[in-house]
């Protein structure tokens, strides 16, 4: 039955679920900003799933992604081992075996991924989009991510296929791959590195829009039940309508903090008050020991704060009445909410092709333009190698022009 529930962040989660004999055979969830959007999506998704599970060949609904990959690998191994001598000489067979060997790393990745224990039948487009976002945050190029997804898509093709003369026999499941839709939604490119930076005018418009969100939420009267607030877009006559939620108060602060710290999204929103040291003259963020492992992704144990970052922290402290030291400094603002709010703002402002992770590029590029050395920037950004850092530095030609004039 299609259901919707409200999240603490103010967004709405839609859930589509099908059961057979008391056993859940299909379940999918997705988050939206309005209740109606969530309910519509849940009903449509459930209707599509009902058609598949009543007309197609039922698949093992509890088979996880890891189990599916392992079963696929076993099918491939059996097929290659049983191939005749004549088949082994076939160029198509040889190309297939090479692709199998080449895909070993990608299959290993999926078996160890966050989706590994999720039933294959329930993996959604949103799940794949989150995977793409995580890989980008881990500094993987779009080209590498496309190869990861190509491997997953091959699994879906094997699951849906029947008997074939030049491939292992498939499983004939009625299953749809969400890979193509997720790749399109996240605008994956086949090659080239990301070099999007904010123009000064774009930065100003986004900050003013987020400030309007903050002020509109602060002015909103406290009422029981759902309440919507209107936010003016500074560049035109558009009005954005949002459900009233305290998370709107911190969106501008989080946006600026991302530029000031060069931190990845998941790490930025994990910072809690206990980690913040505002001792005059040595203001810094001290990451605890449990954050120093491989999951830390190279972020320094101690991160010195810029003057603007110190101001941001103090501004938030003035707004919050009671501070829990173990609470994230941007609470109740969550990473998923931030991503949607930035998209809404950019769409209303006609700002194209800008993502939250581009703020990390912006931060590294600004430090380079201020004359920081690559080693100094690496100490802040946490990049493991200078080669990976180089992909994040895109110096504005105007800055080069100014230095040329100064040199003259």
User: How far is CA 88 from each of CA 97, 99, 176, 197, 349, rounded to the nearest angstrom?
Assistant: 9, 14, 32, 51, 58
**pLDDT at res. 292:** 67
Does residue 223 sit in the same domain as residue 289? yes
Q: Are the C-beta atoms of 397 and 370 separated by less than 8 Å?
A: no
Q: Are residues 141 and 50 in the same domain?
A: no
pLDDT higher than 80, residue 179 = yes
Contact 122, 64 (CB under 8 A): no
Does a structural domain hold residue 407? Answer: no
Encode pLDDT of 115-173 as tens digits: 999 998 889 998 999 899 888 777 677 888 999 999 999 999 988 887 776 788 888 88
CA 101 to chain centre: 29
Going by pLDDT thresholds of 50, 70 and 90, the confidence category of residue 312 is: very high
Query: Does 305 reside within a domain?
Result: yes
Same domain, 178 and 285: no
DSSP reduced 3-state for 208:
helix
158 and 220 co-located in one domain: no
Query: 180 with 244, same domain?
Result: no
pLDDT at residue 298, rounded to an integer: 63
Question: How would residue 187 be classed by pLDDT, with cut points 50, 70 and 90?
Answer: confident
* pLDDT, tens only, 374-400: 999 988 888 888 888 888 898 887 777
* CATH code of 349's domain: 1.10.443
The confidence score (pLDDT) of residue 22 equals 61
Same domain for 50 and 72, yes or no, is no
Domain-located, residue 396: no
In a domain, 115, yes or no: yes
Please indicate, yes or no, whether residues 99 and 234 belong to a single structural domain of this protein.
no
**Residues 114-129 pLDDT 10s:** 999 999 888 999 899 9
Asked which of 120, 154, 185 is the last residue of a domain, the reply is: 185
Domain count of the fold of the chain: 3
How many whole angstroms separate alpha carbon 115 and alpha carbon 66?
8
Instruction: List the alpha helices (DSSP H) in 103-194.
Output: 104-111, 125-137, 142-160, 179-185
Identify whether residues 32 and 143 lie together within a single domain. no
CA angle 241, 342, 308 (to 5 degrees): 115
Nearest CA among 45, 46, 52, 39 for reference residue 12: 39
Q: Give the per-residue pLDDT at 283.
A: 95
Classify 24 in phi/psi space as left (phi over 0), alpha (psi -120 to 50) or beta: beta
Confidence class for position 328, pLDDT limits 50, 70, 90 = very high
Residue 60, in any domain of the structure: no
Domain ends where: 354, 378, 397? 354
Reported confidence tier of residue 54, pLDDT bands at 50, 70, 90: very low
Q: Does 314 lie in the same domain as 229?
A: yes
- Beta-carbon neighbour count of residue 49 at 10 Å? 20
Residue 389 falls within a domain, yes or no?
no
State the Cα–Cα distance between residues 5 and 8, nearest whole angstrom: 10
pLDDT single digits (tens) 287-308: 988 776 554 556 778 899 999 9
pLDDT reading at 56 higher than 50: no
C-alpha atoms less than 13 angstroms from C-alpha of 154 in its C-beta half-sphere: 21
Q: In this structure, is residue 194 part of a structural domain? A: no
For residue 58, what pLDDT band results from cuts at 50, 70 and 90? very low
Cβ proximity of 122 and 27 under 8 Å: yes
317 and 270 within one domain:
yes
Does 16 map to a domain? yes
Are 319 and 212 found together in one domain? Answer: yes
Domain that includes residue 325, residue range: 200-354
DSSP string, 273-329: GGGEE--TT--EEE--GGGSSGGGTT--SEEEPPHHHHHHHHHHHHH-SS--TTSBT
Same domain, 73 and 165: yes
pLDDT tens for each residue of 346-366: 999 999 889 898 999 999 999
pLDDT in tens, 219-264: 887 776 678 888 988 888 788 888 888 999 999 999 999 999 999 8
Average pLDDT over residues 102-107: 92
pLDDT bracket for residue 49 (50, 70, 90): low
Select from 159, 185, 211 the last residue of a domain. Answer: 185
Q: What are phi and psi of 182, to 5 degrees?
A: -65, -40
């Amino acid at each position: 039955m299609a259901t919707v529930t409200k999240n603490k962040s103010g967004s709405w989660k839609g859930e589509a679920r099908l059961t057979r004999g008391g056993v859940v055979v299909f379940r999918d969830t997705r988050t939206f900003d309005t209740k109606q959007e969530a309910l519509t999506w849940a009903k449509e998704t459930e209707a599509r799933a009902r058609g598949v599970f009543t007309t197609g060949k039922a698949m093992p609904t509890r088979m996880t992604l890891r189990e599916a990959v392992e079963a696929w690998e076993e099918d491939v191994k059996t097929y290659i081992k049983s191939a005749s001598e004549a088949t082994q000489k076939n160029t198509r067979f040889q190309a297939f075996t090479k692709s199998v060997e080449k895909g070993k790393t990608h299959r290993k990745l999926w078996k160890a991924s966050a989706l590994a224990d999720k039933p294959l039948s329930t993996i959604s487009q949103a799940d794949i989009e989150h995977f793409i976002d995580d890989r980008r945050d881990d500094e993987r190029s779009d080209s590498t991510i496309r190869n990861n997804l190509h491997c997953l898509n091959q699994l879906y093709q094997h699951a849906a296929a029947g008997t074939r003369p030049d491939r292992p026999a498939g499983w004939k499941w009625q299953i749809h791959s969400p890979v193509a839709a997720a790749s399109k939604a996240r605008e994956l490119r086949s090659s080239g590195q990301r070099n999007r930076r904010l123009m000064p005018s774009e930065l100003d418009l986004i900050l003013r829009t987020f400030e309007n969100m903050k002020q509109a939420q602060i002015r909103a009267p406290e009422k029981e039940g759902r309440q919507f607030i209107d936010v003016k877009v500074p560049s035109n006559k558009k009005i954005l309508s949002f459900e009233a939620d305290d998370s709107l108060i911190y969106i501008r602060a989080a946006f600026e903090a991302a530029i000031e710290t060069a931190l990845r999204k998941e790490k930025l929103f994990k910072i809690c008050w206990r980690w913040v040291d505002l001792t005059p003259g040595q203001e810094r963020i001290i990451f605890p020991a449990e954050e120093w492992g491989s999951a830390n992704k190279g972020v320094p144990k101690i991160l010195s704060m810029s003057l603007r970052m110190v101001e941001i922290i103090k501004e938030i402290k003035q707004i919050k009445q009671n501070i829990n030291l173990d609470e994230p400094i941007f609470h109740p603002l969550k990473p998923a909410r931030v991503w949607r709010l930035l998209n809404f703002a950019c769409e209303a402002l006609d700002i194209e092709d800008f993502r939250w992770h581009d703020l990390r590029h912006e931060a590294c590029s600004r430090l380079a333009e201020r004359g920081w050395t690559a080693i100094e920037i690496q100490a802040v950004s946490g990049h493991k190698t200078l080669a990976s850092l180089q992909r994040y530095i895109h110096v504005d030609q105007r800055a080069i022009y100014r230095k040329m004039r100064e040199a003259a």
